[in-house]
Chain A
């Protein structure tokens, strides 16, 4: 009964390094999302994937890329990390179609620090 699994849970990078955050869901959901959470700013959508094979920009996409590898997996890549990308990153998934009014399910987050 894993739900949404994110790896790693913690990571420290140096400015300019690259990294991929992994996310997998086992609920057979069509849609997946990446958010960042910063103090006082709530959650902001970085990218989302409405269904396998599609990705779209969210509110704050600059500096990130995503890959929807298959229906289960959705990864987030930082090509050249910057201190402004220090944040907690959450992956979420949800059904689509007739079930699209159902809530999103969240992973436990990746805490990323960039020095």
Chain B
């Protein structure tokens, strides 16, 4: 079985400050990890992924995430938050088996609120 925990329902940060959205995962094997963002009344948009290799991955809109195998975490970060980053963020995990359907397990989401 695989699972994802996003321990914070909401994260509040002032514009210009760094932000972190936390994610921990559980999977019986090597993981593929993903971050998605959802704006109001829209579908999920892909931000970044960890497949293998460098533990620090960079994605869209200046976001990055650090894979930490020992802590089973994949926290999303950005050095300087923008008001336009305010949205709902989802972490997702799947087993790293190629050739199969990409059955993802999603966390419950973290709402990011960036204020002036």
Chain A positions near chain B (C-beta within 8 angstroms): 4, 31, 33, 40-45, 48-51, 56, 58, 90, 92, 94, 96-98, 100-109
Contacts and interface: CB of A to CB of B under 8 A. Distances in A.
* Chain B contact residues: helix, strand, loop or mixed: loop
Contact of B98 (A45, A90, A101): A101
Contacts of A43: 44, 90, 106
Contacts, number: 75
Interface string B15-49: 00000000000000000101010000111111001
B98 A104 contact: no
Given A45-B103, A48-B103, A100-B101, A106 B45 contact: yes
Given A42-B106, A106-B36, 7 more contacts: A50-B101, A100-B100, A101-B49, A103-B34, A103-B102, A104-B102, A106-B45
Contacts of B103: 33, 45, 48, 58
B46 A108 contact: no
Nearest to A109: B43
Contacts of A48: 101, 103
Q: How large is the interface on B (under 10, 10 to 19, 20 to 34, 35 or more residues)?
A: 20 to 34
B6 to A, nearest CB: 8
Contacts of B104: 45, 104
Contact of B32 (A33, A41, A101, A107): A101
Interface string B49-65: 10100000000000000
A105 B47 CA distance: 11
Interface in B45-104: 45-46, 49, 51, 90, 96-104
A101 B51 contact: yes
Contacts of B34: 103
Contacts of A109: 41-43
A94 B106 CA distance: 16
Contacts of B98: 97-98, 100-101
